[in-house]
Amino acid sequence: MPHVESGMTVGLFGGSFNPPHDGHVLVAETALRKLGLDQLWWMVTPGNPLKDRNNLAPLAERIAMSGKIAGNPRIKITAFEQALGQSFTARTLEFIRARNRGVRFVWVMGADNLRNFHRWQNWRRIVGTFPVAVIDRPGSTLAYLSSPMARTFSHARVDEDRALTLAFRRPPAWTFIHGPRSPLSSTALRSAKSG
């Protein structure tokens, strides 16, 4: 895990990053700015349990590509989940919380993940562990109104203009952040490369 100090605010941005692209960088930069984060951990996962692993590039390759594209010293590329021997976000977040007392974390995800977030293992526990920031992605703007997560936790939604307070709120708390959107997707990039 990257080094942090008590009192810091840190965004947790996990994904396969297969491959990482400018859309991921835009989500990370938007989160840093709109949430007032000291750091953002770009967590390259060994593999997503909900995705086909047959087309998954080696972890070391995805880490190296992420490091090349991120470009901001406050973005820390890490793949510590591999050492945990699992890929379930709820368990990872509990591990992070237990080892980083005094640090305020926010789970950061692109809005394209919000549509299927209720399929993630223990998704309610994820929302109950840390505040969640959902960053707009093309074709997913309305997901914050219609997704099961948004409906289930509608009472915990924080207005976007108060996003700077998110890290200081007791979960469940979440916000949807609008902003510039990149049309890039890892799936499209893989298809173009193989085609």
Could you please report the per-residue DSSP string of 29-50?
HHHHHHHT-SEEEEEE-S--TT
Indicate if the pLDDT at residue 169 is higher than 70.
Answer: yes
**Can you give the residue range of the structural domain that contains 35?**
9-194
Measured CA to CA, the distance from residue 14 to residue 7 in angstroms comes to: 22
**pLDDT value for 79:** 94
Please give the model's pTM, rounded to 2 decimal places.
0.89
Measured CA to CA, the distance from residue 164 to residue 145 in angstroms comes to: 21
Number of domains in the chain: 1
Residue 4 lies in a domain: no
Residue 41 lies in a domain: yes
Model confidence over 110-162: pLDDT tens digits? 888 888 899 999 999 999 999 999 999 776 666 667 899 999 999 999 999 99
Residue 3 lies in a domain: no
Model confidence over 83-96: pLDDT tens digits? 887 778 999 999 99
**pLDDT value for 42:** 98
In the predicted model, what is the mean pLDDT of the chain?
Answer: 88
Residue 18 lies in a domain: yes
Of 76-80, 100-104, 169-173, 179-183, least confident by mean pLDDT is 179-183
Measured CA to CA, the distance from residue 98 to residue 51 in angstroms comes to: 28
**pLDDT value for 129:** 98
Token pair 């965004």: residue: 11
CA distances for 6 relative to 10, 13, 99, 163, 191, angstroms: 11, 20, 11, 21, 43
Residue 1 lies in a domain: no
CATH number of the domain that 113 lies in? 3.40.50.620
Indicate if the pLDDT at residue 186 is higher than 60.
Answer: no
**pLDDT value for 48:** 66
Under the banding of pLDDT at 50, 70 and 90, the label for residue 188 is: very low
DSSP structural state of residue 101:
T
**pLDDT value for 50:** 58
Residue 38 lies in a domain: yes
Q: Name the percent of the chain lying above pLDDT 90.
A: 71
Residue 2 lies in a domain: no
Model confidence over 10-64: pLDDT tens digits? 999 999 999 999 999 999 999 999 999 999 999 999 876 656 667 899 999 999 9
175 strand-pairing partners: 133
